[in-house]
Amino acid sequence: MIGTALSRWTMSYFTVALVFLVGAQMLMVAGYGFPAVAAEAPETLVLVHMVTIGWLSMLMCGALFQFVPVLIAQPLRGERLVLPALICLLTGLAFLLAGFLQLAGVFDAGIPLLALAGTLLPAGFLLVAGVLGGTLWHANLQLPARFVAVGLVCVLVTAILGALFALLLSGFLPALAVIDFRMHALPVHIAIGLGGWLSFTAIGVSYRLLPMFMLSPDRERVSGRVSWWSGVVALLLTALASPIAAFLEKVGLAATASPATGLAVALGMAALVLYGLDLAFFYRHRKRRTIELNSRAAQGAFLALALSAILLLALLATGTLERHIGALLYLVAFGWLTGLGLSQLYKIVPFLTWLECYGPVMGRKPTPRVQDLVTERRGWMWFALYFLGVLAGTVTLLVEQPGLFRAAAAATLLATLAVVAELVLARRLANIPDDKRLPEGASRPRLFLPTPH
């Protein structure tokens, strides 16, 4: 990545994402939303979308604007649309959260807030997909980029379904209420959003980042290609499961579960097993014998992904998926996706800071190493506390103990705040000795705004 052009607004996306993550965790500690209230309550919807859009999607968008050019060795096309996309996403999310609060009776604005959100959020994601998809379109896509391409299709599907939900809740599109749109489309909205957009894309990015940071062989493997195909078919079947089930019911062949759903679960599990084999290959064949904290902490996220798969199979086998879906989604969102996101930010933020600050003088002046921008002796404690908190939180949700869940959420909040503080220190070059901090020709980067041209 040395010499790669920096995406001007990536740090802004990261900052917005971290603000929403900390805000959502504070609400959980305060007992706001699930499990204190029902999973379908407006308060829970506020919490869920702060995490999925405000934190995870903003994080993913910011990361992709920086790393898609790295995946395909081509510049980002349409970069001028990155800021409008951020504005649309932030404004749309603000309207969405306000609309849910309006449903909860907190206030009555007298305007269709959810309908406005249902317009702005898809527009923002369309801009994101347009910039990234347009960049990928002109490249010969290797395996990581193919994962990202599928993820971009999934985010558009998720955004469209979300917009239809918003319009339905606003009183528009009454025909959707007649066909029970929520029952048929909500599982697809969740599965394609978490499994397709966020997880499939995260897997694709990890196929590039892990070998790059650990100096592992990055040649394309058969297991990776089969994992991609299995995952794609699983996502297609997931999207089609409800229509297939409706058709079977119409012709009198209704079953407790659609065959498409069972096949999708089986293929999804196969994709994860193959992905796990590739991860083991990366770690086992790395040239960097002492791996850095971001790669060690990522192992906690990969373990959470494996536990999520095991938990899903256990809940399906016992027929308790609907009862414990909250625990499963919490483990996926905070153990797998958030765990991976925080662990990689611990490397990405110092890396981008180093490029921004010391890149212009590289080779002409002595510069610190990227790893000098952080202090791993402190950092590992926070990641350990974070994953222990997530594990404890999942268990408390399974045993239905809301009070204990708040205590576990407090542990994850403390760990997250500590990691954020470490990122701020790295961004401010606080861990670099004064005499080496700013050699002649280097400049301190802004905290989250781009450096003016």
Using N-to-C axis directions, what is the helix angle for 376-398 and 293-318, rounded to 10°? 10
Residues 205/218, Cβ–Cβ less than 8 Å = no
Distance separating alpha carbons of residues 46 and 100, to the nearest angstrom = 6
Residues 339/297, Cβ–Cβ less than 8 Å = yes
Q: What's residue 252's pLDDT? A: 60
Residues 12/82, Cβ–Cβ less than 8 Å = no
| Residues β-bridged to residue 362 | 365
Using N-to-C axis directions, what is the helix angle for 10-29 and 82-103, rounded to 10°? 20
Instruction: Tell me the Cα Rg of the chain.
Output: 22
3-state secondary structure of 234: helix
Please report, for residues 234, 330, 371, 378, the alpha-carbon distance to residue 354 in angstroms, rounded to integers and kept in the order given: 40, 34, 9, 20
Q: What's residue 260's pLDDT? A: 78
Long-range contacts of 448-453 (CB under 8 A, 24+ apart): 448/11, 448/12, 448/14, 448/15, 449/11, 449/12, 450/8, 450/9, 450/11, 450/12, 451/356
C-alpha closest to that of 304 among 266, 278, 270, 338: 338
Distance separating alpha carbons of residues 243 and 255, to the nearest angstrom = 13
Distance separating alpha carbons of residues 384 and 149, to the nearest angstrom = 33
Distance separating alpha carbons of residues 162 and 157, to the nearest angstrom = 9
pLDDT tens, per residue, the chain with 453 residues:
444 578 889 999 999 999 999 999 999 999 999 999 998 899 999 999 999 999 999 999 999 999 999 888 888 999 999 999 999 999 999 999 999 999 988 888 788 999 999 999 999 999 999 999 999 998 889 999 999 999 999 999 999 999 999 988 888 877 666 566 677 788 899 999 999 999 999 999 999 999 998 999 988 999 999 999 999 999 999 988 776 666 666 666 555 456 778 899 999 999 999 999 999 999 999 998 888 999 999 999 999 999 999 999 999 999 999 999 999 999 999 999 999 999 999 999 999 999 988 888 887 888 888 999 999 989 999 999 999 999 999 999 999 999 999 999 999 999 999 999 999 999 999 999 988 888 887 788 888 888 775
DSSP labels, 100-160: HHHHTTS---SS-HHHHHHHHHHHHHHHHHHHHHHHHHTS---HHHHHHHHHHHHHHHHHH
Alpha carbon 323 to its chain's center = 25
Q: What's residue 33's pLDDT? A: 93
